[in-house]
Amino acid sequence: MEWALLPLKRYADFNGRSRRKEYWFFALMILAIYLVITVIGMVLGSLTPSDTANGILAAPAFLLLLLFGLAVIVPGIAVQVRRFHDQDKSGWFVLLNLIPYVGGLVVLVFMCLEGTRGPNRFGPDPKTNLAGAY
């Protein structure tokens, strides 16, 4: 759980490096929360008694979904920037996400790649700082 919350602790910190573990645990936590809120919204939407008010009970859940998405967009971008830094690449590579169709896939591949071993221009190796060794 610590790894999933670390990007929230470093909310708007675009400096330094982040391990794959930090990125993927954060992504998994975000996905799980999205799924829980969505299921709650769908259940509440199905409890509405008439067709004219269909979804009126689900509106607060989907508003919560929107607010949660807005709240995690900054730490999500920050942890992606730090992942690129871990690979000794510029944080501007995050803008690849804006390329339709292929941009997200390219970033996904980069997020799966191992970072550079040892220190690089963005800081010390996060693996050796936390674990002491590989």
Q: Is the pLDDT of residue 134 over 50?
A: no
Q: Is the pLDDT of residue 57 over 80?
A: no
Taking only the tens place, the pLDDT of each residue in 4-44 is 888 888 888 899 999 999 999 999 999 999 999 988 888 87
CA dihedral for 124, 127, 131, 134, sign (positive or negative): negative
Q: How far apart are CA 19 and CA 3, in angstroms?
A: 9
Q: Which of 7, 27, 9, 34 is nearest to 18 (CA)?
A: 7
pTM: 0.84
Q: What is the mean pLDDT of residues 64-81?
A: 94
> Which pLDDT score is estimated for 130?
60
Distance of CA 71 to the CA centre of its chain: 11
Q: Which of 52, 70, 68, 51 is nearest to 60 (CA)?
A: 68
Domain ranges of the chain: 2-131
